[in-house]
Amino acid sequence: MNKLYQIKHELWLDILYASFAIENSEIKDKLYDFSMIAFRHMKWLGGDILEAGDDYNYDRSKMLLKRECNFDIFKYLIEEIRAAQSHYEESTLTARITTDEIYLVEYLSALLSNSTNNEKITAFNMHRTLPNKNLDALQTDSLTIFLFEESYKEYELILVYAYMQARTDNLLHFNVFQDLIDESHFHLKSFGNMMAKMGILALPRELHELTYKITDIEKFIIDGIKEEENAKEQCKALADAVNDTELSQFFDFINYQENYHIALMEKLLPKK
Amino acid sequence: MDDIELPEGMNPEVIKHIMYPQNYGKLENPDGTGVAMDEKTNEFVIFTVKLAKDGIEDINYATNGCQDTVVIGSMFTEMVKGESVEYAKGAIAKIEAKLGVLSPQQKICADMVFNAFVASLINVSNLAQGEKEEMHVIKSEESCVIPEGENNE
């Protein structure tokens, strides 16, 4: 299997989870944008690998390490980007990837030159509270479990749909997969940032190939629609349980988005 | 986290198993691979094991299931790694004792974990007898479905 793909997959997660962990909104937003660029690198690389008759998988070998301060994250990202670059062979794609990454390293280096950017990281300390919210133990537990379940699920959906998108010749399917991937990116971002605020930021589990090597797409979609319906129920139950207007509105908003996911997924089913 | 006051509710050990599941993934060149599969929900637990003369040399698991399955799989593999197979067969009961009374849903998750482990041992045995079996699959009889009106704590 393609080792470079695994390295790029891990680098995407490194940048994405760095953006979740950091509190400063300007740095957070910038890193999130870079993570989305890194995801596109991964997508393009996957396309090139398939075109060359090779294959890739979603294996990973790295854990998300707890970091104490922003500078630890910036230094780690620079090291990881440089390590990834040592694996690139010359091509139009790697030239593009390299210039993107050089710009990111320059940005991170500039941040490192100003000590006011070195804030403490609280994303891993398990305090399980939200600013200006007064949730009781049961509500906190419900929210904790929901965020772990759903952040994994969104990560899973992004990768499963990307895997299928890379292997379809059907334009309608390609576009539907892209919409679903975009939607899941937004949900993962929302949940990841909330997990960081609660001190429970953790990488989603690695996907086993049984999850994404789909042999019966119709069954996969029908089961996926059931899962979306279940996710809607979870959102609704959580919105009712948290007893906080702002949080309830947020989970209702996510719940209503799932309705359209179901409509999108139905477009993937064969016309009867 | 020493200066952080943890809230009441979920056991911090459980949260750690969710955030950092132990022995998660797959082993290269395992002696046995076993799957517990719930065909109704498509949820699975997969175990890969390496055995030594005196017991379980290494063990990994993966699942697309719920957080209860993740926690029980993490605790189970942590408990049985380096131990005898006989010890491993009683480990689920020890986890139950540790977690307290399991809900019906958690019991199904624990069964999925244990069945996947048993399936990996069956795969070891089948391969030793010359069968060509990529993995041994045990189909689950009950589904881990959250009853209406309950959350999945």
* Span B12-139 CATH architecture: Alpha-Beta Complex (3.90)
- pTM greater than 0.80 (yes/no): yes
* Cα separation, B54 vs A204, whole angstroms: 34
Q: Which of B2, B3, B5, B10 to mutate to test the interface with A (most CBs of A within 10 A)?
A: B10
* Cα separation, B144 vs B44, whole angstroms: 11
* Cα separation, B39 vs A50, whole angstroms: 30
Inform me whether the C-beta atom of residue B67 falls under 8 Å from chain A C-beta atoms: yes
Tell me which chain B residues have a C-beta less than 8 angstroms from the C-beta of A241.
151
Inform me whether the C-beta atom of residue A200 falls under 8 Å from chain B C-beta atoms: yes
Inform me whether the C-beta atom of residue B36 falls under 8 Å from chain A C-beta atoms: no
- The first and second tokens of residue A144, run together, are 């904790």
- Partner-chain contact B35 A137, CB within 8 Å: no
Inform me whether the C-beta atom of residue A148 falls under 8 Å from chain B C-beta atoms: yes
Q: Average pLDDT for residues B19-26, to the nearest whole number? A: 92
Please report the pLDDT score of residue A265 as a whole number.
Answer: 93
> Which residue, A70, A90, A121, sits at the end of a domain?
A121
Contact of B81 with B117, CB cutoff 8 Å: no
Q: Are residues A144 and A49 located together in one domain of the fold?
A: no
Contact of A119 with A23, CB cutoff 8 Å: yes
- Partner-chain contact A223 B20, CB within 8 Å: no
> Which residue, A66, A92, A121, sits at the end of a domain?
A121
SS3 state of residue B48: strand
* Cα separation, B51 vs B54, whole angstroms: 8
* Cα separation, B17 vs B11, whole angstroms: 10
Q: Are residues A231 and A180 located together in one domain of the fold?
A: yes
Q: Average pLDDT for residues A60-87, to the nearest whole number? A: 92
Tell me which chain A residues have a C-beta less than 8 angstroms from the C-beta of B149.
237
Give the residue from chain A lying closest to B43, CA to CA: A211
**B48 band by pLDDT with thresholds 50, 70 and 90:** very high
Tell me which chain A residues have a C-beta less than 8 angstroms from the C-beta of B151.
142, 145-146, 234, 237-238, 241
* Cα separation, A9 vs A7, whole angstroms: 5
Amino acid at A175: N
Block residue for tokens 């396309």: A47
Inform me whether the C-beta atom of residue A66 falls under 8 Å from chain B C-beta atoms: no
Q: Are residues A7 and A80 located together in one domain of the fold?
A: yes
> Which residue, A104, A121, A138, sits at the end of a domain?
A121
Give the residue from chain A lying closest to B60, CA to CA: A208
Q: Average pLDDT for residues A20-47, to the nearest whole number? A: 97
Tell me which chain A residues have a C-beta less than 8 angstroms from the C-beta of B7.
127-129, 137, 140
Q: Tell which residue, B149, B145, B128, has the closest CA to residue B32.
A: B128
Please report the pLDDT score of residue B80 as a whole number.
Answer: 94
- Partner-chain contact B46 A208, CB within 8 Å: yes
Size of interface A-B (CB pairs under 8 A): 83
**A212 band by pLDDT with thresholds 50, 70 and 90:** very high
Query: In this model, does residue A166 exceed pLDDT 80?
Result: yes
Contact of A165 with A142, CB cutoff 8 Å: no
State which residues form the domain around A46: 1-121
* Cα separation, A19 vs A39, whole angstroms: 14
Please report the pLDDT score of residue B140 as a whole number.
Answer: 84
Inform me whether the C-beta atom of residue A156 falls under 8 Å from chain B C-beta atoms: yes
Q: Are residues A160 and A267 located together in one domain of the fold?
A: yes
Q: What is the rounded (10 degree) CA torsion for B16, A255, A17, B76?
A: 30
Mean of all residue pLDDT scores within chain A:
93
A204: Cα within 13 Å, side-chain hemisphere: 31
Please report the pLDDT score of residue A264 as a whole number.
Answer: 93
Q: Tell which residue, A151, A78, A179, A176, has the closest CA to residue B67.
A: A151
Q: What is the pLDDT of residues B129-147, one digit of tens each?
A: 999 999 999 998 776 655 4
Q: Are residues A35 and A167 located together in one domain of the fold?
A: no
Domain count along chain A: 2
**Residue among B6, B41, B153 minimizing CB distance to A126:** B6
Q: Are residues A244 and A132 located together in one domain of the fold?
A: yes
Q: Are residues A93 and A151 located together in one domain of the fold?
A: no
Q: Are residues A94 and A162 located together in one domain of the fold?
A: no
**β-strand pairing of B136-139 with B43-52:** unpaired
CATH of the domain at A205: 1.20.1260.10
Inform me whether the C-beta atom of residue A149 falls under 8 Å from chain B C-beta atoms: yes
- Look at B99 and A168; give whichever has higher pLDDT: A168
Amino acid at B7: P
Query: In this model, does residue A162 exceed pLDDT 70?
Result: yes
Burial call A53-70: b when 16+ CB within 10 Å, e when fewer: eeebbbbbeeebebbeeb
Inform me whether the C-beta atom of residue A128 falls under 8 Å from chain B C-beta atoms: yes
- Look at A189 and A142; give whichever has higher pLDDT: A189
